[in-house]
A = this chain, B = another copy of it.
Amino acid sequence: DGRMGLVWDGENAQFSSRARVKFNLSGETDSGLSFGGSFRVDQENYNNEIDEGGNSNESNRSAARGTAGSVYISGTFGKLSMGDVVSAAEAAIGDLTELGYTSGEFAANPEEIDFLTGDGENEEQGPTALYEYTFNGVNLFASMTDGSRRDCGAGNVTYGTLGCYEFDEDDDTDVAFSLAAGYEFGAYNVALAYSENGDGREIVIGGTAAINEFKIKGFYADYDDRDLGQLGDFEFDFDDNADTFEVDYDRAYGLSVEYAMANGVGIQGLWIRREVEILEAFADGAEDAYDAYGIGASYDLGAGATLAGAIIKNEIFADNETRADVGIKFQF
């Protein structure tokens, strides 16, 4: 895929573009099993992730090591995938609607639900396995990691490499897993998921409805014993306070609406709220709910080219600014 355009970061307009290629590989055995794999070229780069503060965290993920991209095998027994797959919860519920030509990236992806497993979490356990099975409109999902934290080498590398096994340096940890079930009836879809990751617990319920030109999606997620350190994109900045304080991620909920006209014009809206529990008394007055909301518009140029733009305000930004993007995105 590719994209090019302008991002207003709250203070300046900036150019932003990219070009990527994804490999999709597949085959079918003599007995009718399907198998395949997929990864992007840039997922072969082990030093390719940077955190919210802009630092490279050298996460060292790689499709050639099982920690980016994925492979699968499917048949009448369902579908089994392994690699950097989504959790059962995310497979069943998904994220909210993406806004703008950068798909929400210009405003820290407020459309992404902060699932407790997969999706950037528990990466140090190596590949995740995901199993999916469908019958009569019921979709069942189960995902898990292997419960062995491969702590070999500097820091906490997440190489899936086999040379990396070392008893004394690996930690046994709890298996991180997720279970989910969904039901489709006509234009409606509801799903429920439960996940565990270390001490953290997650219950998420989500649903979608497609009514004429409208597509509506909502979710509610409740977390137990989930500290912020586990969160990926969602970071608070308490620089304004003399003292920082401890918080737990308590719950999140949100809603998105898409409206698609026959002439290729679409309008999208998004609102999400994340609530934290403040664990220290002196900080009781601090903000414990963070909203993000935005509106976007798109125009389908055909052949995979789409003109799109959006305005999003995301309260997790330290400067609390409103950001916007406008540009064109391509599917090759």
Contacts and interface: CB of A to CB of B under 8 A. Distances in A.
A104 B54 CA distance: 36
Interface of A: 2-4, 7, 9-21, 23, 25-31, 33, 35-42, 44-48, 50-56, 60, 62-66, 69-73, 80, 82-83, 102, 105-106, 108, 126-129, 145-148, 150, 152-154, 157, 159-167, 169-170, 172, 233, 301-305, 319, 321, 328, 330-332
Contacts of A167: 9-11, 319, 321
Given A14-B146, A44-B45, A167-B321, 18 more contacts: A12-B148, A12-B170, A14-B148, A16-B126, A17-B83, A19-B71, A19-B83, A27-B332, A29-B303, A35-B328, A40-B64, A45-B46, A45-B62, A46-B48, A48-B64, A54-B166, A73-B328, A102-B162
Which 9 residue pairs of A and B lie closest in terms of their CB atoms, listed nearest first?
A54-B152, A30-B302, A19-B37, A25-B332, A42-B64, A17-B82, A2-B37, A54-B153, A17-B66
Contact of A54 (B19, B72, B159): B159
A153 B18 contact: no
A165 to B, nearest CB: 4
A153 B159 CA distance: 23
B164 A56 contact: no
A71 B12 contact: no
Contact of A153 (B17, B55, B153, B332): B55
B46 A7 contact: no
A62 B56 CA distance: 13
Given A12-B148, A302-B31, A305-B35, A50 B17 contact: no
30 contacts: A2-B25, A10-B167, A11-B167, A12-B148, A13-B146, A15-B128, A15-B145, A16-B66, A16-B160, A16-B162, A19-B37, A19-B71, A21-B39, A26-B332, A27-B303, A27-B332, A37-B332, A40-B64, A45-B45, A48-B62, A53-B152, A53-B166, A54-B150, A54-B161, A54-B163, A55-B152, A55-B154, A108-B163, A163-B233, A167-B319
